[in-house]
Chain A
């Protein structure tokens, strides 16, 4: 590891340093010199950091302390890709405040693939689940890397759908690797680290505090060629991602929702503001991105028998509960039960919470 990389990682140990301070500090020292050796003797340092910060930093100057941390990270499978590294994503480098070091777990080759951000609210409706699944699946099959934030809701659905379809996905975390957030996605994070990728700009010991989340969103926007928002309310954090995407000149796409659904208010606003952001189907999105969608098989639906067709027609546009389907079709319960399982296994319908079904 080069001295310049070590300098960056050393500065990452101090969460109280702002991004600007870090950049300034890096700039006052020659690139090929170890900051820690010159730290106490350099007068300009005190112009940048406060007295307290200076004292804290001076306590961590020993040579082996940093080495031990780096070694520990490597032992835990955490790769440190600094901005000087060849593996650092080219798109991300272009933004105004690129993270100085990316802590990565998993398949590093994904960093320089074609990425699309898929983001949205943490709380989503059934509609949100279904469209997120449709889009993520299409992107996964088309070979696009899906970038998201591993939060609950849209992010989780996106990651999981990509995994199911053996696609590629990157999760950008807000905190360090020792603090997986939300905790219920711990299992997902392990799975993602196997063949896909987890990244964060914070060193493993940093907790995911609230203000890291909006800052994290700039990485999602920065990595991606385009950002897709599948479902978002007015206060959704994914709207930050949209703002960053605008700033970085990325394409923005939003899935329209019902005008009276509060959970689609955010996306609908985006569409009103930027009319070109409307996307009407996964194929539509891929076309806008200039990706040939030969690989995507059109859904081949076998000739269905009369009863299946009857059920499908009924739940085509709106979810219906089991009872409603039973009342409508008048089928014996045992027959309807096995019929629904069959349709679900064929991937034609989906079972939602509250014992209801919808065509997907």
Chain B
């Protein structure tokens, strides 16, 4: 007898339908899977057999052929256990093919017939919904993330027996209630808050600007100055993720298997801090299955590179292209996948290998040559893409011992939100969401300077030895400062402040 079940597969973060055909016929008992299945799918034989038997159904002593169509695409994962088991039962007339019609079935089986959680449910469901499918059977472990998709019927199930009962009409399963994104927003809190960061007024201000305009930022300072703490507080002042952004992030996290199953959707902007020993592939994505890397996991959020010069040069340089394009293409011999990678880079570094260059409390032991070598690990083109350079000074005792709380993240966030709204309005039809991502055309239009400012900038370039590449950066940052100030045009004060944030362009060492 022949049975047909519809399931879904994933290529990167886009899904495609997989038709599972089963032929159960007389012959020597065997179980063959065709259609470029990977080992996990081939091993389904054992799980399917045990699960069917342990759910008190009969496992046919026949020749079983499983075909995964389209036959020329490689398929991987354990999500086809449940559809295969249902197919075998349908071939034996336990349920009918007609009952399965229109359902997309996904699920991994355990030996006792329970259904396990999968990675990548959300992207598959989103693709399937776009393709016109609207009835889904999924593991109950994935219920949370699936509940954010509206206008579809999703049934979250626990056991194989339950599914069969559902199809036969013997058992009722409630379809998932649609959750709104806003409802989950309320109850999330940040672990880090600027209220607890003492001093560091200039660095906080720079972070506020970075958050408001989506600018990349590098923090330079001696060890113990609080660079990492500042960076960790950064997500708390970023504008909230919109639902669309959140879906994009959740898709990637779902594929990578790092999604928190309690919330089911990413509500906080991701903050990724890969260690400096991370390989290039860990950062960009890849491996045999072309999985997303750290830069994609940081999509719509923050990529924090602590002690940036410690990363291998090769690794840092790879960031250049994604920083420009906002996505990365991972090509492997089996597949080529494009992952979004639109992040704010927050980097930190010491001013020299020992960390105490210019420090008043410690003596720097580095030779000028070693300082030069250390700083030159961050190449010009990369520096070119970092808008804000801020030096973090070591904190003095009075600041530390102050009992008063500083300005809270929530307050800073209000200002950031207002500035962001201005930008969203301004770039409404350009496909740009922040000042940092402005392209040439918008740059010309919105970063125009009056005569006074043009002259001023010229003087600044000569006197402060700024490099040519600083020009665009200064103007974009000045634009954001003007937005924070609620001004239509860039004024002198805005420009002056923006110039403060280019310290690496000046002569850094003697």
Contacts and interface: CB of A to CB of B under 8 A. Distances in A.
Interface stretch (B137-145, B180-188, B495-503): B495-503
A254 interface: no
Contact of B500 (A126, A340, A352, A354): A340
A345 B464 contact: yes
16 contacts: A129-B510, A152-B510, A323-B396, A334-B497, A335-B493, A337-B202, A337-B496, A337-B500, A338-B496, A341-B500, A344-B463, A345-B463, A347-B463, A352-B358, A354-B359, A354-B391
A250 interface: no
Contact of A184 (B369, B392, B492): B369
Given A322-B393, A353-B391, A354-B222, 10 more contacts: A152-B368, A152-B510, A157-B510, A322-B202, A334-B493, A335-B493, A337-B500, A342-B496, A345-B460, A351-B503
A217 interface: no
Contacts of A324: 396
Nearest to A185: B368
Contacts of B508: 353
A323 B200 CA distance: 6
Contacts of A351: 503, 506
A183 B205 contact: no
Interface string B343-382: 0000000010000011110000000110010000000000
Given A333-B201, A337-B500, A354 B358 contact: yes
Given A182-B368, A321-B393, A338 B358 contact: no
Interface residues of B, number: 45
Contacts, number: 101
Interface string A344-359: 1101000111111000
Interface of B: 199-202, 204-205, 221-222, 351, 357-360, 368-369, 372, 390-396, 399, 459-460, 463-464, 481, 484-485, 492-497, 499-500, 503, 506-510
Interface in A326-344: 326-327, 333-335, 337-342, 344
B407 to A, nearest CB: 10
B378 to A, nearest CB: 16
Nearest to A334: B497
A345 B392 CA distance: 22
A341 B369 contact: no
A234 to B, nearest CB: 16
A124 interface: yes
A196 interface: no
CB-CB nearest 9 A-B residue pairs: A353-B358, A338-B496, A354-B358, A355-B391, A337-B497, A321-B393, A152-B368, A341-B496, A333-B205
A321 B390 CA distance: 13
A152, A157, A326, A338: which has the most chain B beta carbons within 10 Å?
A338
A340 B503 CA distance: 13
A345 B499 CA distance: 10
A344 B464 contact: yes
A182 B205 CA distance: 38
Nearest to B398: A327
Interface of A: 122, 124, 126, 129, 152-153, 156-157, 160, 182-184, 321-324, 326-327, 333-335, 337-342, 344-345, 347, 351-356
A342 B498 CA distance: 12
B202 A355 contact: yes
Contact of B399 (A183, A184, A323, A342): A323
Contacts of B358: 126, 352-354, 356
B463 A341 contact: no
B128 to A, nearest CB: 50
Contact of B481 (A182, A184, A334): A334
Contacts of A352: 358
A322, A345, A351: which has the most chain B beta carbons within 10 Å?
A322
Contacts of B394: 354
A340 B498 CA distance: 11
A242 B199 CA distance: 46
A326 B503 contact: no
Contacts of A334: 205, 481, 484-485, 493, 497
B205 A323 contact: no
A354 B392 CA distance: 7
Nearest to B484: A334
A342 B496 CA distance: 7
Nearest to B364: A123
Nearest to B205: A333
Nearest to B499: A341
Contacts of A344: 463-464
Given A156-B510, A345-B464, A356 B393 contact: yes
B326 to A, nearest CB: 29
Contacts of A124: 510
A322 B351 CA distance: 17
B360 A354 contact: yes
A338 B497 contact: yes
Given A341-B497, A344-B464, A153 B510 contact: yes
